[in-house]
Amino acid sequence: MLHLFALLFPEAELHRGEALNWPRICALSLAMGLTSLGMIVFDCAHPPAAATALIAAMGYFDSWLPVVALPLAIALLLVQAYFFNRVLGGLPFPRWRFDLKAARAFPDLAGLGDREQSHWAQITGRVFERRGP
């Protein structure tokens, strides 16, 4: 978005890091909006993706190194997440879905909580447990 708006509005000097004007604000908004739309369309909510789009649209990728390093870091994180969640944890990763076997093994992660208490008792218990001295 930053490069597109820099082509559309050359007088705005968007490649200067300190410039904050309407074309830059529009580029930032569209970058985050399109990222959010993609997360909705593909049903994969991940708020740090919007932050990554924001960083890119702000112009912090000023050389080829961050552009190459970011996808490599994302791939490394995906491999780690797959290994820790699916291989070690037995959780249905990367597509989280309700799995009765996983829900019984991890009731808190599945949102089941303590079956002995009602839902209202669980909520009030959590609220009153958070009070400090």
Q: Looking at the predicted structure, is the pLDDT value of residue 132 above 60?
A: no
- Confidence (pLDDT) at 30: 93
Q: What is the per-residue pLDDT for 34?
A: 92
pLDDT tens for 11-59 read 877 766 666 788 888 888 999 999 989 888 887 777 788 888 888 888 7
Asked if the model's pLDDT at residue 131 lies above 60, the reply is no
Taking alpha carbons only, the member of 57, 54, 52 closest to residue 77 is 52
Residue type, 124: T
- In tens, the pLDDT along 60-95 reads 777 888 888 988 998 998 899 888 877 887 776 766
Closest CA to 15 of 61, 79, 77: 61
What angle do the packed helices 47-57 and 22-41 form, to 10 degrees?
A: 150
